[in-house]
Amino acid sequence: MDLIDGNKIATDIIAELKADIAALKGRKPCLALVRVGEDPASVSYVKKKEKTAAEIGLESRVILPPVTITQDELFLLIDKLNADPTVDGILVQSPLPKHINEVAVFHRVSARKDVDGFNTVNLGKVAQEDETGFVACTPAGIMELLARSGVDLAGKHVVVLGRSLIVGKPVALLALQKRAGANGTVTICHSGTANLPLLTRQADVLIAAIGRPDFVKADMVKPGAVVIDVGINRIADPSKKTGYRLTGDVDFAAVSPLCSKITPVPGGVGPMTVAMLMKNTLKAYRLSNC
C-alpha cells in the first residue's frame, strides 16, 4: 500500500506558485477572505489560507462581518469586492449563518473572482469542460493528487460517495471529463443509495465525501483500489490538546491494508485544497490583467 502524501504534493505546488508570483511585475495577486461568525473549523481554515497566502507572496484581506449581518448587507459587501480592481479573488467561507442563503451568496461573487468555484457559471463550466472557469478547490485538489500520484482514471470505475455541491458533484464531473487523466466511468452514491457496499466494491477509485466518520469499512472496498478520503470529522478526544482528533470518512486502519493507494486524514486532501485556492487566485489575477 502506498500512502498518498498530500502535504508533500501541496508543498510542491505551493513552491511552484511562489516562484510564479515572485516573477510577477507590479501589484501582487490579492485574495479577499470573508468569514461570518466564529465556527471553529472556519476560523482555523481561514487562518490557514491567510498564512499560506503570506508564505507565497500573495496579499490577503480578511473581512469579518458580525454574525448578525443580513443577506442584503453581505451582498453589498460582495458587490464592493467585485468592483474593487485590487481584489482578484473572493472567498466567502462556508458555513454561513442559517438566515443567509449560501447558494445566493456564492452566486453573488463575480464569476471572474470566484476562486472557490461555487458560482453557478463556474460549476456550469466544469460540466461544459470549459477550462476558462474556476474549479472548486477540493475537487481540483483531488484530481491533482491523483495525477501527481500517477493514477490515470481512463477506463477505471470511479465511485464517488456523496453528492454535495462542494465536492461530490464537481469531482464526479471532473472524473468524467473527456481529457487526459480523466475519462473515468463514474457512479455517484449517496444516503439514499440501495446496496451501497455492492457499488463501492466495484470501485477502482473510491472517493469518500459524505462527512461520516470511519464510514467506509473493509468489506466496502475492492482489494487494490485507490481510496481518496475527503472527510474531515472532528471527534471529541480529551487526551488531545485541541480537545478533538480528526478522522476521515474511511476506517483507515481496516481499509488501508487492502488498497493500492490511500490518502490519510489529516495530510491527504486537506492541504491540497489550500494549494488549489492559491492557484485559482493566481489564475484570477492573470484573467484580470490580460
Question: Pick the catalytic residue: 114, 116, 214, 249?
Answer: 116
174 is a site residue for ligand GUN (CB under 6 A): no
Q: Are strands 226-229 and 89-92 parallel, antiparallel or unpaired?
A: unpaired
Residue 116 appears among annotated catalytic residues = yes
What distance in Å separates the CA atoms of residue 198 and residue 26, rounded to the nearest whole number?
56
Question: Pick the catalytic residue: 5, 49, 251, 261?
Answer: 49
- Which listed residue (17, 58, 109, 137) binds ligand GUN by CB under 6 A? 137
Of residues 134 and 215, the one with the C-beta less far from ligand GUN: 134
- Assess contact for 286 and 156: CB atoms under 8 A: no
Residues 265-284 that bind ligand GUN (CB under 6 A): 273
52 is a site residue for ligand GUN (CB under 6 A): no
- Assess contact for 177 and 146: CB atoms under 8 A: no
Q: What would the x/- binding string for ligand GUN be over residues 87 to 116, using CB under 6 A?
A: ----xxxx---------------------x
What distance in Å separates the CA atoms of residue 224 and residue 259, rounded to the nearest whole number?
5
Of residues 29 and 139, the one with the C-beta less far from ligand GUN: 139
Q: Nearest distance from residue 138's CB to ligand GUN, in Å?
A: 6
Between the alpha carbon of residue 206 and those of residues 6, 58, 147, 252, the distances in Å are 17, 34, 15, 13
Q: Nearest distance from residue 220's CB to ligand GUN, in Å?
A: 25
| Residue facing ligand GUN at closest CB distance | 94
> What sign has the CA pseudo-torsion 115, 141, 44, 215?
positive
Q: Which stretch binds ligand GUN (CB under 6 A): 23-31, 85-93, 149-157, 204-212?
A: 85-93
- Assess contact for 149 and 259: CB atoms under 8 A: no
Residue 71 appears among annotated catalytic residues = no
CB atoms within 10 A of CB 64: 14
Question: Pick the catalytic residue: 93, 169, 177, 251?
Answer: 93
Q: Is 224 left (phi over 0), alpha (psi -120 to 50) or beta?
A: left
Q: Which residues are catalytic?
A: 49, 93, 116
Residues contributing to the site for ligand GUN (CB under 6 A): 91-94, 116, 137-138, 273
